[in-house]
Structure 1
Amino acid sequence: MQTRDQTVAVVRLVVIVACALLLVAAAAASPTAVVAVSETTAAPATPAAGADRGAGAITPRIVGLLPNPVAPDDAGEYVHLSLPPGNWSVDDGEDVVTVQQQRPGPVLVTADPEAPLDPPGGRVVADGLALSNAGERVVLRRGGANGTVVDAVEYGRAPEGERWARDGAPEWRPVGFDPRDTVPLGAANATAFVLPDAPAEPVAAVRGADERVLLAGYTFASQRVTDELVAAHERGVSVRVLLDGAPVGGVSAEQAARLDALVDAGVEVRVIAGPHARFRYHHAKYAVADDAAVVLTENWKPSGTGGGDSRGWGVTLQSSRAADALADLFRGDAGWRDAVRWERYRDDRTFERADAATGSYPTRHPPADVRIERVRLMTAPGNAESAVVAIVDDAGDRVDVLQPTVDDGPMLASLRRAAERGVRVRLLLSGAWYVAEENAAIVAELNRWADAAGVPFEARVADPAGRYGKVHAKGVVADDVALVGSLNWNPTSARENREVVVALEGEAAAGYYRESFTADWRAGRGATSLTDGLPPSVSITAVGAVAAAALFVKRRLTIGGTDENQRGDRDGPVG
């Protein structure tokens, strides 16, 4: 006979599953924008008989294509070649361009030599092919149209404003974007801190700046940070701000008011947006203040740096090398045509009001001055994902990960490998309402796998227990290496967003963040309250139904357009 509590639990189950089915039905009924998958395949380049194979010889090959530039009539299309001396031709089955090469080197074949944005280097041949946006086969031959084929590239529908690069990672990338290498920055003194415990720390370096302040972020709505930037500008500091112009949910009225105030005071504010955008989202969160570099997991708004809600991690590096490296990144990101001045971008736009976080939390984990033995700067797209995987793969003792949520992929796979070789792994995910059920399903699945495999892997959903509002940090501690930055563990963050992460090597920093992690871990749990009280078999059914619905909807939201008005509807960062 059922007890009253079991009856209530079953009723809750019916509501949960019904909501899940409604989500699926709503998603299935909604029109879905179709994105053509652009899988470029390149045939291996084969030198013609008799070609020079000696030291320093160049293999004739197609190294890049821009079939679909953002321009009227696709002005600026090009084929980028690497050629040894000789007579060559390139064709698409309809037109043929001949190239007479006197000395080895790169060649840019384009009918519009002045049109390409950020053109690759090389000798320009002012002739071109009418490359199809829908995809076609481009062939490089020795000699004329009937010559020997030495290389070929076949591509599908070409993304607008993106170029294909042989051996690129990814192969298709926005014009104006080139992945960066990991930057070694040497040793540094630093202040490690967590939020909401230490809201004064993110702006401390700005308050003391005399020469430069460069602030990069995803969203910005903090009156306190606005006041500090204006004060810095008024005392003669060069102040620049770079943000995302189309965050998920749009730009709030509060953010617009803060940015208007900065511009009115004389501060340069730019937002990355529009059809030329190199990144799906400019999601990095950092600041340069003279010779100090601040790297955060949190947004510049009351819930983040203001200490009003989110559990976040941050570090201030007293390092001219770190500051200069981030300043170089800032200049590169703010200096392209997709970085639009705020006063021009905001014309004729309306903004929605949003409630600001007003939570107040105790300082249980105060900041600490630490010595970092070695600092490395990692960025996405480019190197952050592979660097995180390498750091986890190198761990021999324990790995702790704090994330809003995780997708199955290389980073999560590295945690599984670590556990399989005996490393103790703890994964703590957010219990916020918008990811609670999805994270409960992830936690349940991972813990079942760990139990079945007999490996030291445990996952939990965080319970703030009055110490913060929700988990927003993206942090890792692997042995004596701590990772702090904006990188979410999902493919969009790793491969399409601008993200910044610093690897902090040394027992002092690792110990600081692990202590905070452990305190948060102790309050964690293995399931969310929505399924508490359900019989085990029923609970698993509920979690599975909701997780399946969430995954279905999430996959559909990943498909979208490329113009600025659609960016906010595409699969975006948790924050």
Structure 2
Amino acid sequence: MSRVAWFAAVCLLVGGVAGPAVGATTESTDVAVDGRTDAAQPFQPAITAVYPNPVADGDRGEFVVLAFPNGTDIGRYELTDADGTLSFPNATVGGRVAVTTAPTVVRNRTDYRVVDADGSVALANGGDRLRLIRGNTTVTSARYRDAPEGEIGRFDDRGALTWRPLGRTNRSVVTATGGKARAFTLPDAPDVPLEVVRDADRRILLAGYTFTSERTAETLERAADRGVDVHVLLEGQPVDGITRRQARLLDSLTEAGVTVELLGGPHGRYAYHHPKYAVADDRAVVLTENWKPAGTGGHASRGWGAVVSQSEIVGGLAETFRADADWRGARPWTEVRRGRSFGTSGVANGSYPSQRSPETVPVNRTRLLVTPDNAGSEVTAALDDADESIDVIQMSIDGPDQRFLRATVRAARRGVDVRVLLSSAWYVEEENRRLVEHLRGVADREDLPLSAKLAEPGGDYEKIHAKGVVVDGDEVLLGSLNWNGESIRQNREVVLALEGEAVGAYYRDAFESDWGGDAGRPLPVGIVAGVAGCLVLALLVVRRIDFGPDVGIGPDR
């Protein structure tokens, strides 16, 4: 694994969310979301989660999650707070159950078995202390305070509580060994994402933030017309709003039989649904770019992407899609658009040369990371494990104290060559320039191998929108994850981690080209021949000149 020694600078982001302090006196086992796991049976009853503040009038639909050993008769237990008591029916259970006085409502909010309780325990939004009792004995207790609206609080095995939106997943990293990836960059290869969905025979699951690509819409409509099951999942409340162009395309998709759903609203579990990927039959494409002319259309942005076919990764993406699309926060487009007006926006139409062709390269290992579930810790670990180099390309980074950036600077301090390339687009130029100056200052004061600069597109693209990292030249991280705290902790994002010398070399070469203009890009044959001729002529001239001892030769002459 040879490395080019450059002083470089990298920036990444903040992560980790801690909930308010609480107390719980018994062990509980962490679970996926609000209800899909009973993998570990508790040794004794426990209070594992509370949902005190539903998004509903009168807080209708409150519940408490209790965990019981197998074969427990829950009729012998009661749940109480300072103001009331819930009694349970005589039933034998094992694992986790959601106890509530509104079972019909709660069954739509959790996958746990729902127990219809009698009595009255009003879970206070400002905080409460709950006790699970058997006779006159308190078996376990738990305390919470300041319950956020629409969020479930989960107790860990130490009794600490973390709040997260109800329904948020807790997915593990998906890993596949071997196989190949089709690596590509944008705007160089805008046909690659379309080729993936164009060839589908059975299913297309397309996830995105916004969608304004006429070409992609037409491809999806043709697929639906030939019987392919096509499902599109987008963000319902993007920062700049839904445009008339997007509304028109989504209308057309719906009329063509495509299932179009948007996430968000009062039941949204993420700040933004921000991933960019598609599953088509047994292949998948993961991108840094939006499904719009500026991104996948190749008319503006520098982006990275990869097509993979490892069954574990494709299956993991499909499961992520279903987990998000099946949540009640996903609303049909026809419902979202009802009674709404939409604004206008410009459409990118730039034209750029294709400097880098797609390549199918072997990979040793591929991992699927998602936020807020696991990507924050995994990206941090990849940076902390770097031995030789880290190359980062990002639109922007929040600031010098972010989680990934701190990991990158730590790497530079242990001798890793770090480079950070940020966008020079007008809307981020000032903040990016400040960060570049900060990183350069750190590098100068501490004599670190850390470099940072703003991109100079030079006609190859308009602006950087890529979110990519190359670690040690043989591990690549690419996807929708912006380097800011919200992306790590609150958004749904998708990242591919691709390992191997060949895949690393492809994206490292792409980075080199953008870092140094034409550096790393093969020169045209004519230029190479001209340079060679000049060198020959210079050698002949040098041999005919007698340099005296006081003649200076250098750049100042």
TM over 0.5: yes
Counterpart check, 1:351 vs 2:342: yes
- Corresponding residue number in structure 2 for 1:466: 459
Counterpart check, 1:239 vs 2:230: yes
Matched positions, count: 478
Counterpart check, 1:423 vs 2:416: yes
Question: Is the contact between residue 235 and residue 263 of structure 2 (CA under 8 Å) also seen in structure 1?
Answer: yes
AA partner of residue 332 (structure 1): A
Counterpart check, 1:110 vs 2:100: yes
Q: CA deviation at 1:369?
A: 1.3
Counterpart check, 1:41 vs 2:21: yes
Q: Which has the larger radius of gyration?
A: 2
Task: List runs of 5+ in structure 1 lacking aligned partners.
Answer: 1-36, 48-54, 525-575
Task: List runs of 5+ in structure 2 lacking aligned partners.
Answer: 1-16, 28-39, 519-557
Identify which of 514, 520, 538 aligns with 2:514: 520
Aligned counterparts, 1:93-492, within 5 A: 93-98=82-87, 105-116=95-106, 117-119=108-110, 121-122=112-113, 124-127=115-118, 128-133=120-125, 135-143=126-134, 147-148=137-138, 150-156=140-146, 158-167=147-156, 171-407=162-398, 408-479=401-472, 480-492=474-486
AA partner of residue 435 (structure 2): I
Q: CA deviation at 1:323?
A: 2.2
Identify which of 28, 42, 52 aligns with 1:67: 52
Aligned counterparts, 1:75-90, within 5 A: 75-83=60-68, 88-90=77-79
Give me the CA root mean square deviation. 2.4
Q: CA deviation at 1:462?
A: 1.4
Question: Is the contact between residue 170 and residue 495 of structure 1 (CA under 8 Å) also seen in structure 2?
Answer: no
Secondary structure, in 3 states, of the residue corresponding to 2:104? Answer: coil
Q: CA deviation at 1:383?
A: 0.3
Secondary structure, in 3 states, of the residue corresponding to 1:242? Answer: strand
AA partner of residue 350 (structure 2): G
CA distance in 2, matches of 1:56, 1:111: 25
Q: Structure 1 residues 97 and 304, CA, compared in 2 at 3 Å: closer, same or farther?
A: same
Question: Is the contact between residue 169 and residue 323 of structure 2 (CA under 8 Å) also seen in structure 1?
Answer: no
Q: Structure 1 residues 170 and 329, CA, compared in 2 at 3 Å: closer, same or farther?
A: farther
- Corresponding residue number in structure 1 for 2:534: none
1:159-214 CA distance string (max 9 Å, x none) = 22211112399922222222211001222222101011111111111122222111
Q: CA deviation at 1:429?
A: 1.2
Q: Structure 1 residues 366 and 423, CA, compared in 2 at 3 Å: closer, same or farther?
A: same
CA distance in 2, matches of 1:57, 1:81: 10
Question: Is the contact between residue 18 and residue 162 of structure 2 (CA under 8 Å) also seen in structure 1?
Answer: no
CA distance in 2, matches of 1:505, 1:338: 35
1:207-241 CA distance string (max 9 Å, x none) = 22222111110000011111111111222222111
CA distance in 2, matches of 1:243, 1:425: 35
CA distance in 2, matches of 1:522, 1:58: 60
Question: Is the contact between residue 372 and residue 509 of structure 1 (CA under 8 Å) also seen in structure 2?
Answer: yes
AA partner of residue 78 (structure 1): F
CA distance in 2, matches of 1:101, 1:291: 44
- Corresponding residue number in structure 1 for 2:501: 507
Secondary structure, in 3 states, of the residue corresponding to 1:248? Answer: coil
CA distance in 2, matches of 1:304, 1:456: 33
Q: CA deviation at 1:242?
A: 0.8
Q: Structure 1 residues 232 and 149, CA, compared in 2 at 3 Å: closer, same or farther?
A: closer
Q: CA deviation at 1:119?
A: 2.4
- Corresponding residue number in structure 1 for 2:538: none
TM-score (norm 1): 0.78
Q: CA deviation at 1:376?
A: 0.7
Question: Is the contact between residue 41 and residue 68 of structure 2 (CA under 8 Å) also seen in structure 1?
Answer: no
CA distance in 1, matches of 2:185, 2:114: 52
- Corresponding residue number in structure 2 for 1:33: none
Q: CA deviation at 1:303?
A: 0.3
AA partner of residue 152 (structure 1): A
CA distance in 2, matches of 1:268, 1:141: 45
Question: Is the contact between residue 214 and residue 240 of structure 1 (CA under 8 Å) also seen in structure 2?
Answer: yes
CA distance in 2, matches of 1:45, 1:118: 26
Q: Structure 1 residues 208 and 106, CA, compared in 2 at 3 Å: closer, same or farther?
A: closer
- Corresponding residue number in structure 2 for 1:558: none
Q: Structure 1 residues 98 and 233, CA, compared in 2 at 3 Å: closer, same or farther?
A: closer
Deviates more, 1:273-282 or 1:83-92: 83-92
Question: Is the contact between residue 105 and residue 122 of structure 1 (CA under 8 Å) also seen in structure 2?
Answer: no
Question: Is the contact between residue 38 and residue 155 of structure 1 (CA under 8 Å) also seen in structure 2?
Answer: no
1:29-71 CA distance string (max 9 Å, x none) = xxxxxxxx99432224159xxxxxxx98624432101011122
Q: CA deviation at 1:458?
A: 1.4
Q: Structure 1 residues 234 and 242, CA, compared in 2 at 3 Å: closer, same or farther?
A: same
Identical-pair percentage: 47
Secondary structure, in 3 states, of the residue corresponding to 2:220? Answer: helix
Q: Structure 1 residues 276 and 488, CA, compared in 2 at 3 Å: closer, same or farther?
A: same
Secondary structure, in 3 states, of the residue corresponding to 2:404? Answer: helix
Question: Is the contact between residue 66 and residue 163 of structure 1 (CA under 8 Å) also seen in structure 2?
Answer: yes
Q: CA deviation at 1:454?
A: 2.0
Secondary structure, in 3 states, of the residue corresponding to 1:358? Answer: coil
Deviates more, 1:509-518 or 1:119-128: 119-128
**Highest RCO, 1 vs 2 (Cα 8 Å, sep ≥ 6):** 2
AA partner of residue 417 (structure 2): R
Question: Is the contact between residue 78 and residue 129 of structure 1 (CA under 8 Å) also seen in structure 2?
Answer: no
Q: CA deviation at 1:123?
A: 6.5
AA partner of residue 488 (structure 1): N
Q: CA deviation at 1:143?
A: 4.1
Q: Structure 1 residues 318 and 356, CA, compared in 2 at 3 Å: closer, same or farther?
A: same
CA distance in 1, matches of 2:93, 2:170: 29
- Corresponding residue number in structure 1 for 2:3: none
Q: CA deviation at 1:147?
A: 4.6
CA distance in 1, matches of 2:161, 2:371: 11
CA distance in 1, matches of 2:284, 2:53: 38
Secondary structure, in 3 states, of the residue corresponding to 1:41? Answer: coil
